Amino acid sequence: MQIQLSPRDILYAAILALFITWMITGIMKNFRIVITKPTEFVYPPEEVKKILQRCYMLFPKEIILFHGRTYRRGMIVRIVTTQQKVIQGQLIGQNNDNMVCVLTDRHVVAHDLGHIEEIAQIEG
């Protein structure tokens, strides 16, 4: 059994394929924004040891390579994000999703390494 396709059928299929591709691309872009969105939460100062233990489990990689430089867990760093936000604190580590965790004086911040412009070690 042979199906006859007219030029109009092919045009409709091409337009439908373009529309579906446009929808999937839009959904993927929004999903990527949600996944890579920086996470920041306030912690009670008296629970810093418990918070650190959890963060060490969630961000097990102790060494972070960024632009040819090596940063280690425990270093005091200043991070500048692509949105020009400055995060300064103790480097906790990195996870398998390419997220970096920093413990500041008031917050625990997890940020996608791909959205970081600069990391600098601060002598402290």
Could you give the angle at the alpha carbon of 95 between the alpha carbons of 89 and 99, nearest 5°? 60
The answer on 31 and 9 residing in a single domain is yes
In terms of pLDDT, which residue wins out, 34 or 19?
19
In terms of pLDDT, which residue wins out, 48 or 118?
118
Number of domains into which the chain is organized: 2
Give the model confidence (pLDDT) of 1-17 as tens digits: 688 889 998 999 999 99
Query: How far apart (Å, rounded) are the C-alpha atoms in residues 121 and 124?
Result: 9
The answer on 6 and 57 residing in a single domain is no
Query: How far apart (Å, rounded) are the C-alpha atoms in residues 51 and 83?
Result: 27
Query: What is the domain-level CATH number for residue 68?
Result: 2.30.30.100
pLDDT band at residue 38 using 50, 70 and 90 as cut-offs: low
| Residue in 102, 71, 74 with CA at minimum distance from that of residue 88 | 102
In terms of pLDDT, which residue wins out, 100 or 123?
100
Provide the pLDDT for residue 34.
Answer: 47
Q: Check pLDDT > 60 for residue 35.
A: no
Task: Please list the alpha-helical segments (H only) found in 36-94.
Answer: 48-58
The answer on 58 and 22 residing in a single domain is no
Q: Check pLDDT > 70 for residue 30.
A: no
The reported pTM is 0.65
Provide the pLDDT for residue 71.
Answer: 95
The answer on 26 and 59 residing in a single domain is no
The answer on 63 and 30 residing in a single domain is no
What is the extent of the structural domain holding 91? 39-121
The amino acid sitting at 113 is L
The answer on 17 and 75 residing in a single domain is no
Give the residues across from 111 on adjacent strands: 100
